Structure 1
Amino acid sequence: MSEDWSTGWPAPGKLNLFLHVTGRRADGYHLLQTVFQPLSVGDTLDFLPLSSDEVRLEAPLPGVAPEQDLVVRAARHLKAGTGCGAGVAIRVHKCLPMGGGLGGGSSDAATTLVALDHLWDLRLGTDRLAAMGLALGADVPVFVRGWAAWAEGVGELLTPMDLAESWFLVIDPGVPVSTAALFSAPELTRNCPPITIADFLSGRGVNIFEPLARARYPELDRAMAWLEQAAGHARLTGTGACFFAEMPGPDDAGKLLDRLPAPWRGFVARGLNRSPLLDRRDRAEARNPGS
């Protein structure tokens, strides 16, 4: 690989440790309460700054037009918002399943914003990058900020949290779950009573989308039932299709992963309070603080 590539920019996944819908705005957006926790597992991105203004995605994802890819949209949004005339080629090494509720696309977009802010020497800072990220998706700001967080509003009102950095077994049953269909479902509970951070820390909070997803996707229901029996509990992340169980440690999670029936897939990850993206950014700035 050319030394001109800036490699190894992490785009970690996330878990929603609970997810409530507390209302709906006049514009149709749902009001949420949730806790985001970054994971030690995620995608990785490489960037090659270009002297032209081209934004080029190497090896586009199957079935996703480059113009619609959140990585390309993030780079172009950053260019448009700053008047930057530079360009970039981007390689995405996918690890997280698409549409799994792990935030892979949003995390990739956030990593693009953070990396290009450094590589293009824009120096916008976290607050401006997070604001720009909100235009790309409600989950993007939490990945830009890079901390475990309590979230409200449409997911953009964030309060950093210091959570237990537990180990999780995350399972992907391999079924496509439509976020739009779940949000528009007439049976969705949209008036969850608001809870506090203290309520959550004392054990309150569910994923309000879980009964809907399990009722509409039998394979997801079967996979969650297996994990409930094997681990004693399971919870959907986001609107699915992935779900997770907290485990005593990585060895226990690995042993249970070895028992996972085919064709379901999974991985072991640690929940984090600080995203590895922040560490990668800090290393890049320490090596080359003036560019």
Structure 2
Amino acid sequence: MLKYSKENNNGKIVVRIDQIAYPPTVYLDTWALFDFIEDDKLSDKFIKILNNLGGTLMLSIMSVLESMGLKNQKQLQCLCDLIDSIGIDRVALLDFNFMRVSVKEKIYKKTGGPFLKISPAIDCGLLDSFIKIHKPEDPLKVSEIFLAYRQDLDNGKVLEENWEQSLFPIIERARNNINALSNAKKRFRKRKEKANTCKFPCTEFLMETCFDYIAINENMKMPDKEWRDIFHTIVPVAYCDFVLVDKKWLNFIKSTGLEYPQIAKVYAQRNLSEFLKDLESWKRR
């Protein structure tokens, strides 16, 4: 839930957006968002189930940037309509950057910070951007973020970000060194053997296992854009209840030894019906 408020502080209007993610929390890779806007019955069913449960759709800046690939304004408007139809009280913003989230987790654990009050998975930067984008006189809509980025793109602003490039050296070092590759295989095996001891949130476990998984699967070739799917996987799977990802990343999650409720229930594109069935039957623990 995103809650918008204004207050007068000595003559200055202070705008505030608070976020609460009520379970079940659902994260959709961008392909899933696109699938829903192409099938009204599918999207209507999803929205109805989520609203009946009082759950939350989690969105990240990756969803925003990748939606810029939609071919025309009508498609983008359909996506905005889908998100707005869920309602501002059923949407929250997730920090996609697992390295940043892992650092925040360590700080909270070390300092005894307000972990339950300020989740490390909240994207405070995106919330700040939302405050700057929103016009106080208008109703608050999550689609404002998507439309603002689209406007920037139409105005010639380059939106390309290269977060994934920071991963390349890590993988290449392991693949090009026999000892490093051998160590990666050992770490992967030992980590999997201890998976049942991992406690929420499993961000660091997933991050380190993912690096080793890619390194030891030497034939795992991916175009640059597919590396970004890692950002659709690690934090959402660590923090959410249900996550839809590409098949290769579903296979990765299965290989970790982690299971629900340690992590999210994870589905690929061919499992949409199973996802909706499981979501509908979800019970609060």
TM-score after normalising by structure 2: 0.29
Q: Which structure is higher in strand share?
A: 1
Q: Which structure is higher in helix share?
A: 2
Query: Which fold has the larger relative contact order, with Cα–Cα distance below 8 Å and residues 6 or more apart in sequence?
Result: 1
TM-score after normalising by structure 1: 0.29
